Structure 1
Amino acid sequence: MPSPESTAAAFADVHGARPVGVWSAPGRVNLIGEHTDYNDGLVFPFAIERRTWAAVSPRQDRIVSVRSGAMPDAAEASLDALGPEHVDGWSAYVFGVLWAMGERGVDLTGRTGFDILLTSDVPLGAGLSSSAAIECAVAQAVNDLWELGLSRRELIYICQLAENGAVGAPTGNMDQTASLMGVAGHGVLIDVRAETADPVALHFGDEDLELLVIDTRVHHEHATGGYGERRRSCEDGASAMGVGSLRDLTEGDLPRAAEVLDDVTFRRVKHVVTENARVARTAEVVAKDGPRAIGDLLVASHASMRDDFEISVPELDLAVETALAKGAIGARMTGGGFGGAAIALIDANRAEEVGHAVEQAFADAGFTAPIVFVVNPSDGAHRDL
């Protein structure tokens, strides 16, 4: 598994000297609140211990050179040509951050570039936000090395712009917020409209619980396909209901929405409105009654994503159903959907049992074997070395 020291050593192997520093940012699990962030809503993710590390040293020219532990060939771009029309592939997550800094007011004139080497143990395409981990690690490093003094809130906006403008994925900023604002042992209750991100203690350890991630290995891409269609449906629904965003609607507005909207758009709107309510309730319940009391909310969230937002897949449904049948307190798919991972809140002594049951169920169904592992709420982006 990669680490700060192994990342620094890999950088030295390539460049002949150790990096000036190593920064890291975590992936995230979304406990509840899916497709609410770009609707000005509520989200409740937490940063996980799986991270992306960025070993970085300044250069003497205006070139940014990036290598990945998984893809050793360097990708290079000039600080003079970082726009979306100049970058593509995985390196767009890195170059996009620097481009977004310029778009957000950082003067790139006269600045020199960097050599960057990335390593990661955040699974790709699993709905655990490997992309935001790259963006946030690089943004934190550049902020420090260029002595920009940007706040974490500004870095969130920069990384979101990189994702939206350079990569072309129409996502909100939940992932970047969790990656930059995570606190060990806590979830981050995000109110996108109010621009707040409040830590809420989850008490998993106090209740002898663990959160199991079931990576279905059905990979998704946010830059293409159904994600953008769902976002457009939400925008169409808000427009038809005469509101600025779906955050302006409550469950009391749903009967009128059923009359105004076509069936598909109504179900998309219904998911977002009810999911916002579930996020608020989950944060209240976990604070008042503890994590064992949130199981029904997790299950209801999955049903809404499966039936109303229609972003689940058979592998995700099977993972959730199997975990619940084996005694999980609650389970749901997590992330943008169309693949990725499910989560299950379980008693700590049952992780192996539940994991084996899911693996067997996938084998019986003829699905690719899943990857199952436990995650813990962890700290956000920081400098490691």
Structure 2
Amino acid sequence: MGAQRVRDGFARLYGAEPEGVWSAPGRVNLIGEHTDYNDGFVMPFALPHTTVAAVSRRTDGVLRLHSANTAGAADTAGAADTAGAAGGAVELRLDALVPESDRNWTAYPAGVFWALREAGHPVTGADIHLASTVPTGAGLSSSAALEVVVALALNDLYELGLQRWQLARLCQRAENVYVGAPTGIMDQTAAACCTEGHALFLDTRDLSQRQIPFDLAAEGMRLLVVDTRVTHAHSDGEYGKRRAGCEKGAALLGVDALRDVPYDGLDAALARLGDEEEVRRLVRHVVTEDHRVERAVSLLESGDTRAIGPVLTEGHASLRDDFRISGPELDLVVDTALEAGALGARMTGGGFGGSAIVLAEASDAEAITKAVEAAFAAAGFTAPRTFEAVPAAGARRLV
């Protein structure tokens, strides 16, 4: 979505030019699923798909929000109060923002304002016009892109002086407390901190980061994202149950977080959990997934990129069998892609729908895509959407 187009849309809507235009990307998580809220390791990278925001400050405590996306975010705006707003924009008062009071898309940017004000930052309102190419409900972190683009704009306009990791923390708080979705820190950090041509190796405990070169095209490979078009929502109860189960496991094992259970001590830890079978499965996934992230980083840094394929596939089996958050469509993508010659494949994102990723030789990508499409048609599923994922830049000011 071009900056000028969003800038022009803002001017038509609010009758003046915006003070600036910013963007923040969606993300794909290469490996490290449901480890972030367990203080573990993740390795996402940013997508070229972005949410773009044209923004100007206000001084009257009013927030006006508008989305150019007629299918998706903007469709839900009609349920919100639009009285007195310009051109159909949603108008909110900052002093009336209450956590978990908004079930529309507007909760995400409003939550950022709430989190900033709760932290003592002097934000006094804004006019915002948004447009996004990040698919919603596809496990590609459209919500974090929306939060981070607003946070970065406010940080610049109000000269708050916050670092990228601090913006990510505030956005996570907005989603956890204001929206009511118990997500970890990965998505917001990826949107804020990823760099072009790299995957981000992130320790979610202390937010230390390492940019890992990830140029598949140079090595004759592609990473495909297959959007199953089965939508999900992190605020739904199943995600929260998994997080609560992980916290129970950590408490039973006497550790601060499952990150603290060593991989070589996993069997002993599982034995200590006794007949807590559901908790045992969750613990096994998190500990082995952290180990898979470390293996993938080592392989990429040693130049053995193709060898991460089986690591991805192992991750899918763990998410399917231990964490139990896959589904028929995601499993079909993985199984079909592997049968068609993929180097590795797994679901990505929070689960219960969304997308899968497929690592393939460039020469095999088209055949794998067609095989997956044929398998979906034969199963009677909605046709998937497949595109190549290329590591892109993180959040930035455009104008």
Identify whether the pair has TM-score above 0.5, normalized to the shorter chain.
yes
State the Cα RMSD in Å. Answer: 1.3
Give how far 1:382 is off.
Answer: 0.3
| 2:44/2:190 contact within 8 Å kept | yes
| 1:93/1:163 contact within 8 Å kept | yes
- Tell me which stretches of 4 or more aligned residues in structure 1 moved more than 4 Å: none
Which residue, out of 147, 163, 188, partners 2:159?
147
Give how far 1:254 is off.
Answer: 2.3
Which residue, out of 328, 332, 339, partners 2:353?
339
Taking structure 1 as the reference length, the TM-score comes to 0.96
**Cα distance in 2 for residues equivalent to 1:34 and 1:86:** 29
**Cα distance in 2 for residues equivalent to 1:5 and 1:182:** 24
Output one character per residue of 1:291-329: Cα deviation in whole Å (capped at 9) or x when no partner. Answer: 212111001000000001101001000001111111111
Give how far 1:60 is off.
Answer: 4.6
* Aligned: 1:157 with 2:169: yes
In the alignment, structure 1 segments of 5+ residues that lack a partner are none
Amino acid corresponding to residue 100 of structure 1 in structure 2: A
**Cα distance in 2 for residues equivalent to 1:105 and 1:277:** 39
Give how far 1:82 is off.
Answer: 2.2
* Aligned: 1:92 with 2:92: no
Name the structure 2 match of 1:82: 97
Select between 170-179 and 350-359 the one with higher mean Cα deviation: 350-359
Select between 341-350 and 76-85 the one with higher mean Cα deviation: 76-85
Which residue, out of 98, 101, 105, partners 2:116?
101
Amino acid corresponding to residue 184 of structure 1 in structure 2: E
**Cα distance in 2 for residues equivalent to 1:348 and 1:3:** 29
Output one character per residue of 1:58-86: Cα deviation in whole Å (capped at 9) or x when no partner. Answer: 23522110001121732221122223155
**Cα distance in 2 for residues equivalent to 1:266 and 1:86:** 35
Amino acid corresponding to residue 374 of structure 2 in structure 1: Q
Taking structure 2 as the reference length, the TM-score comes to 0.93
**Cα distance in 2 for residues equivalent to 1:198 and 1:257:** 30
* Aligned: 1:361 with 2:365: no
Which residue, out of 257, 263, 267, partners 1:255?
267
Structure 1 SS opposite 2:218: coil
Select between 54-63 and 117-126 the one with higher mean Cα deviation: 54-63
Output one character per residue of 1:242-280: Cα deviation in whole Å (capped at 9) or x when no partner. Answer: 111101102232222332321111011000000000001
Structure 1 SS opposite 2:127: strand
**Cα distance in 1 for residues equivalent to 2:193 and 2:20:** 21
Select between 122-131 and 96-105 the one with higher mean Cα deviation: 96-105
Name the structure 2 match of 1:311: 325
Name the structure 2 match of 1:283: 297
Output one character per residue of 1:33-52: Cα deviation in whole Å (capped at 9) or x when no partner. Answer: 00000000000000111000
What are the residue-to-residue correspondences of 1:153-302 with 2, within 5 Å? 153-261=165-273, 262-302=276-316
Amino acid corresponding to residue 141 of structure 2 in structure 1: S
Select between 256-265 and 184-193 the one with higher mean Cα deviation: 256-265
Structure 1 SS opposite 2:219: coil
**Cα distance in 1 for residues equivalent to 2:225 and 2:314:** 18
Name the structure 1 match of 2:82: none
* Aligned: 1:116 with 2:128: yes
**Cα distance in 2 for residues equivalent to 1:194 and 1:131:** 23
Amino acid corresponding to residue 190 of structure 1 in structure 2: L
Name the structure 1 match of 2:39: 40
Structure 2 SS opposite 1:84: coil
**Cα distance in 2 for residues equivalent to 1:268 and 1:328:** 27
**Cα distance in 1 for residues equivalent to 2:36 and 2:229:** 24
Amino acid corresponding to residue 123 of structure 1 in structure 2: P
Structure 2 SS opposite 1:220: coil
| 1:203/1:290 contact within 8 Å kept | no
Query: For this pair of structures, how many residues does the alignment match?
Result: 381
Give how far 1:194 is off.
Answer: 2.6
| 2:47/2:392 contact within 8 Å kept | yes
